[in-house]
């Protein structure tokens, strides 16, 4: 246990200012998102910008390009949450239909296989399918979050669990700890959004009955 704590402490001590900024912005952005705050979007835009710079500096160009996608998705989500709420105080939390859930899982699964096969063929990535799963399901989760679908949290939980197991098995306790923080926030967001969705549905039923 002491070795694990030392590993985590060393990770914080050796982190650059940009690394720590990325961590703080990421945690803050996810926490704001669990509370459905519009401020999550500008914070998230800053977070993926910093992440993109870090990936570009270390020559992880595909990962840097992925941050561009996240940036665009966050910007679209911000616009969607504001423009499409109408006269309501906020855009309601939505739920996918079962066919919609199957389509999302099918698309993310197919992307995982295609990405993993390509990585195994053309890169020296040690765990190409793990990387592909994390990337593909992160993309799907980000799109669902921008649409304010409650299912986004289930995908984030799956991504974070996969990352924790992978980094823990690789003796990277600091990185596993960071994903554990994101896992806790993901579970918090899932519960909070589901509770809000039920409350919004009940309020809508009362309005319809009164009308």
Q: pLDDT tens for residues 134-159?
A: 999 999 999 999 999 999 999 999 99
Domain presence at residue 94 = no
Domain presence at residue 130 = yes
Q: pLDDT tens for residues 61-88?
A: 778 888 999 999 999 999 999 999 888 8
Structural domain harbouring 16:
2-89+99-210
Q: What is the CA radius of gyration of the chain?
A: 18
The model's pTM is: 0.92
Q: pLDDT tens for residues 10-69?
A: 777 777 888 888 889 999 999 999 999 999 999 999 999 998 998 888 777 778 888 999
Find out whether 131 and 125 touch, Cβ atoms under 8 Å: yes
Domain total for the chain? 1
Domain presence at residue 46 = yes
Residue 116 φ then ψ, to 5°: -65, -45
């Amino acid at each position: 246990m002491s070795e694990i704590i030392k590993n985590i402490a060393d990770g914080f001590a050796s982190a650059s200012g940009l690394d720590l900024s990325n961590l703080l912005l990421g945690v803050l952005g996810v926490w704001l998102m669990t509370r459905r705050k519009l401020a999550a979007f500008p914070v998230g835009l800053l977070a993926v910008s910093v992440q993109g710079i870090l990936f570009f500096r270390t020559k992880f160009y595909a990962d840097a390009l992925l941050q561009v996608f996240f940036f665009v998705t966050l910007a679209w989500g911000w616009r969607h949450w504001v423009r499409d709420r109408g006269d309501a105080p906020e855009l309601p939390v939505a739920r996918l239909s079962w066919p919609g859930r199957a389509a999302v899982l099918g698309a993310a699964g197919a992307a995982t296989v295609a990405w993993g096969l390509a990585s195994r063929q053309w890169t020296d990535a040690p765990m190409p399918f793990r990387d592909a799963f994390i990337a593909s399901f992160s993309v799907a989760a980000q799109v669902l979050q921008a649409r304010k679908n409650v299912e986004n949290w289930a995908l984030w939980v799956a991504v974070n669990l996969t990352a924790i197991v992978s980094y823990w098995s690789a003796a990277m306790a600091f990185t596993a700890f960071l994903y554990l923080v994101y896992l806790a926030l993901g579970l918090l967001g899932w519960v909070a959004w589901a509770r809000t969705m039920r409350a919004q549905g009940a309020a809508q039923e009362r309005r319809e009955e009164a009308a």
